[in-house]
Structure 1
Amino acid sequence: MTGTLFKDATIVTMDPALGDFPAADLLVEDGRIAAIGREIPAEGREVVDCRGRILIPGLVNAHMHTWQTALRAVASNWTLLEYFRHVHRGLATLFRPEDIHIATLAGGWNQINCGTTTLGDWCHNNPTPEHTDAAVDALFESGIRAVFLHGSPKPDPKPGQPHFSEVPHPRGEVERLLRGRLADRGGRVTLALAILGPHYSTLDVSMHDFRLAREFGLVASMHQGGGEARTPGGWDVLESSDLVGRGINIVHGHGLPAEQLDRFADLGVSFSVTPENEMTQGHGFPITGAVRRAGGTLSLGVDLESVLSGDMFTVARMALGMQRALDNDESRRSTGSIPETSTITTREALGWITIDGARALGIDDRTGSLTPGKQADLVLLRADDLNMWPVHDPVSSVVMQAGLANVDSVMVGGRFLKRHGRLLAGDIENRKQELAESGRRIVAEIRLREQTG
């Protein structure tokens, strides 16, 4: 039997040249999407009956700190300032390589279970190469497609040590990773850099890190916002040095003036907004509308499972609803009435968690839409479930009504990782116990340290 034929599905491709199909077939061969159309021959192929199902591209979670999976809900009541203090200067310092591994593995599995096929894993708790390797190994083991964004820890410095903002990104680690398991630039797990940027580092460090990313042709992602900038005016210097452009990804993005956002969008900078966490922790209102007005590439992420859930359907609804509310409020203030029509469509919101997420991570040539020739990263949703049926507008049904309960099957690179509602991963129960033990130990040790310190 060669290939898998998804038959009689409602297909939302997110490819503007292809559009959508109310009832069509999609053929997967050799890990890629081979064809979409009607009456594709089924002989010699596994046939998946998709009547009552919606087939969409696999979701893209462009920004998540997956290493925090064992700390689920620990930080749910903390502001950003409390998070910095309790997590980066406390809990993070107690992680062993095995803690990073189980958190990343379980976090990757959960993303698959929720319909995400591509994860931007922003790993900034890797004080040793062993921690880094544990995270990378877990991503491979999980089966998810991932961009591993290699970062650096943020503890308080010990006597005689520099502050993390003064430490350049380690060239040796980048070279080591590119010689090893992340050598394949087109592989399922690839490398990018999670750098500090001018908001969290000195200008010298920022210049070094931006140049390092450009030298190796890697996406460079950095947080922007959350208090005063370490280097005021740093973006201006980087821009004048011709270091800001395609391949630069700004997370959150608060504090950037409109004219700078316009320039960055024109230069090809992408943005990753994490709406629910930004509103929860005190970053400010998500800059969704500002990026849209600038014409920039907008992607979305979960950010922190130590605060909230890992469900990208929820993230998309949160971003859409929040920005519509802001737009409606602006209209009321300026005209005295609500807008004549919605300012953002559900299709655009679905793009934020599919093709635009892939663009932000630099892998839209291989995933993000159901385009023949791309990797077969896709999700099959049970649209005849009670919470979704009847379906009048498939895109709106996906964005506004779908969730984990509707995710029937998930495929990454032509391989089923979830089927008939069941995650196809080995030894899940034992791994869950391992995850719980890791989280309990870390939390207990930090409490003991606080009591005795």
Structure 2
Amino acid sequence: MARMLLRGMRLVSLAPNRPDSENIDLLIEDDRIVSMGQYLNPHDAELVDLTGRIVIPGLVNAHLHTWQSALRFVGGDWSLLEYLAHTHGHVARRYRQGDMHTGTLAGALNQINCGTTTIGDWCHNCLTPGHADAAIDALTATGIRAVFLHGAAHGGPTRPHDMRDIDRLLRGPIARSPLLTLGMAIKGPQLSAPEVVIADLRAAVERGILASMHQSAGEPGPGWDAVEAARLWGPHANIVHGTGLSDEWVTKLVHAGVSFTSTPENELGQGHCTAITEQLLRAHAAPSLGTDTDTAVSGEVLTAARIALARQRGLAHDQQLHRTGMSAPTASPTSKQALSWATVHGARALGLADRIGHLSPGMQADLVVIDARALNLCPAHDPVAAALHASIANIEAVMIAGRWRKRDYALVDIDVDEVTNQLRLSGERFAEKIHASGPLARTRRSVVRRVVRRRLRRQIGSGSS
């Protein structure tokens, strides 16, 4: 039994009924936290002095596509239309199993480097069972905790999810991993025929797994009412973006236990629009957070939390200014709320709230060590606010299930140069396809763009195409 005592830090546990921050020791045995208290003196424990640091729960990136890491920033100036046309309409079908492994490996390692210990990996490019296996093998190699959300390449509204592959994965590599959980990345009621989304959600309920789906602009169509009539909304369902839903729908879904994930930086930049956070707050709920796609943003979930917080505060000030002629007298939401969106609520959204999201005895030892001695954080008068504003340069160490995955500012047991070399080779092949300038390539891009535009128009118009 391995025992480790963390001492000297300022702990931001985010646990219920605990102070916002406290000087307290943390005792870890194997993969779990077993004790928290002052002046702990356990027998035969390795002592880790963290004076000057802040320790927080491991961050949760509840929605991202690690398989797209080789396309990093190729779409920094793309709209949603351009992203869908280039990534899904053009290069996704060209992915080999090796590309899936390389992208997922690099994407997951980047998340650990950023302080993320758990991801909701929305893998909607499982072209074959081998593609899914390659992604799962990569996640396993990194040591990250993940919900692998199995998804097929984009298809028509009458195409149900491939449950044969779901059942194969449940019996195979997922069952053998203590850190991986299986879920389904389904098209959902906005992109599926009503009978298909009902079948997909019933399949998820029968297997006790999470079903995550997109909803991006456009009012809810017949599929939403059909799911409600079938009584299939519940904690097993996760909605990403959620834009276009009315307050009535959001409140109804919150009461049913449905979770929501906002990816604010990507939503604002690509044109999903971002309204779900304020709707959830009005419904006395909260979002989880994700970064979505590395084609456009950096993958730092703390950045997503700060953007979500700033946007909400800006809205509150604008509304107060409109009503009274002055901005709001107090800041709301708080830094603690924003940090909880990237931890506590991320864990809930992924169905892992009994294991991760806050630090307390019995929970998994997933945590982040932030160096608050650095020039950009010192003096850390408010440890919660300091943690929220930490950058990658401040992430000194990351622990997942009691094992250091980053230590002394570097990933552990990883040849980063080899990973980036493989990522570069994979990405260059796709970038060449995207930027091809010949007449055939231009014609193909034009056709794909028109098809995607028509689909987006139908999606926004009916919510069920």
TM class by smaller structure: over 0.9
Aligned partners of 2:61 and 2:289 also within 8 Å: yes
User: 2:156 corresponds to which residue?
Assistant: 164
Aligned partners of 1:286 and 1:319 also within 8 Å: no
Hey, what's the Cα distance between the residues in 1 that align with 2:158 and 2:430? 28
Aligned partners of 2:21 and 2:383 also within 8 Å: no
- The reply on whether 1:233 has 2:222 as its aligned counterpart is yes
User: 1:203 corresponds to which residue?
Assistant: 194
CA-CA distance at 1:130 after TM superposition: 0.5
DSSP-derived class of the 2:87 partner: helix
Hey, what's the Cα distance between the residues in 2 that align with 1:22 and 1:15? 12
User: 1:398 corresponds to which residue?
Assistant: 387
1:89-134 deviation digits (Å, cap 9, x = unpaired): 1011111010010110011101000100001100001110010000
1:14 alignment partner AA: L
Hey, what's the Cα distance between the residues in 2 that align with 1:129 and 1:415? 30
User: 1:274 corresponds to which residue?
Assistant: 263
Aligned partners of 1:122 and 1:150 also within 8 Å: yes
User: 2:461 corresponds to which residue?
Assistant: none
DSSP-derived class of the 2:296 partner: coil
User: 1:255 corresponds to which residue?
Assistant: 244
Report the more deviating stretch, 356-365 or 292-301. Answer: 292-301
Aligned partners of 2:3 and 2:27 also within 8 Å: yes
Aligned partners of 1:297 and 1:359 also within 8 Å: no
TM-score (norm 2): 0.92
1:246-265 deviation digits (Å, cap 9, x = unpaired): 11100000111111111111
Correspondent of 1:306 among 276, 292, 295? 295
CA-CA distance at 1:57 after TM superposition: 0.2
User: 1:105 corresponds to which residue?
Assistant: 105
Q: 1:309-348 to 2 correspondence within 5 Å?
A: 309-348=298-337
Aligned partners of 2:36 and 2:361 also within 8 Å: yes
User: 2:37 corresponds to which residue?
Assistant: 37
User: 2:137 corresponds to which residue?
Assistant: 137
1:203 alignment partner AA: P
Structure 2 unpaired stretches of 5+: 445-465
DSSP-derived class of the 1:16 partner: coil
DSSP-derived class of the 1:181 partner: coil
- The reply on whether 1:218 has 2:183 as its aligned counterpart is no
User: 2:48 corresponds to which residue?
Assistant: 48
Aligned partners of 1:279 and 1:286 also within 8 Å: no
CA-CA distance at 1:427 after TM superposition: 2.0
Identity across the alignment (%) = 46
Correspondent of 1:354 among 327, 340, 343? 343
1:249 alignment partner AA: N
Report the more deviating stretch, 426-435 or 358-367. Answer: 426-435
- The reply on whether 1:246 has 2:235 as its aligned counterpart is yes
User: 1:264 corresponds to which residue?
Assistant: 253
DSSP-derived class of the 1:283 partner: coil
1:281-332 deviation digits (Å, cap 9, x = unpaired): 0111342111111123410000011101011111110000011111111111
User: 1:84 corresponds to which residue?
Assistant: 84
1:144-167 deviation digits (Å, cap 9, x = unpaired): 00000011112xxxxxxxx43221
User: 2:398 corresponds to which residue?
Assistant: 410
CA-CA distance at 1:452 after TM superposition: 8.0
2:23 alignment partner AA: A
Q: 1:16-27 to 2 correspondence within 5 Å?
A: 16-27=16-27
Q: CA-atom RMSD, angstroms?
A: 1.5
Hey, what's the Cα distance between the residues in 1 that align with 2:34 and 2:233? 37
DSSP-derived class of the 2:358 partner: coil
CA-CA distance at 1:446 after TM superposition: 4.3
User: 2:358 corresponds to which residue?
Assistant: 369
User: 2:463 corresponds to which residue?
Assistant: none
Report the more deviating stretch, 442-451 or 278-287. Answer: 442-451
DSSP-derived class of the 2:24 partner: strand
Correspondent of 2:407 among 401, 419, 441? 419
Aligned partners of 1:145 and 1:189 also within 8 Å: yes
TM-score (norm 1): 0.94
Report the more deviating stretch, 236-245 or 404-413. Answer: 236-245
- The reply on whether 1:7 has 2:7 as its aligned counterpart is yes
Hey, what's the Cα distance between the residues in 2 that align with 1:191 and 1:99? 21
1:212 alignment partner AA: A
Aligned partners of 2:313 and 2:333 also within 8 Å: yes
Correspondent of 1:387 among 358, 376, 379? 376
Aligned partners of 1:55 and 1:379 also within 8 Å: yes
Hey, what's the Cα distance between the residues in 2 that align with 1:110 and 1:164? 33
1:253 alignment partner AA: G
Hey, what's the Cα distance between the residues in 1 that align with 2:67 and 2:125? 7
Aligned partners of 1:70 and 1:438 also within 8 Å: yes
Hey, what's the Cα distance between the residues in 2 that align with 1:199 and 1:444? 33
Aligned partners of 2:277 and 2:286 also within 8 Å: no
DSSP-derived class of the 1:433 partner: helix
DSSP-derived class of the 2:9 partner: strand
Hey, what's the Cα distance between the residues in 1 that align with 2:225 and 2:433? 43
Aligned partners of 1:252 and 1:287 also within 8 Å: yes
DSSP-derived class of the 2:287 partner: strand
Report the more deviating stretch, 293-302 or 308-317. Answer: 293-302
Structure 1 unpaired stretches of 5+: 155-162
User: 1:160 corresponds to which residue?
Assistant: none
Hey, what's the Cα distance between the residues in 2 that align with 1:165 and 1:90? 20
Aligned partners of 2:21 and 2:384 also within 8 Å: no
Aligned partners of 2:11 and 2:54 also within 8 Å: yes
Hey, what's the Cα distance between the residues in 2 that align with 1:44 and 1:343? 45
CA-CA distance at 1:183 after TM superposition: 2.0
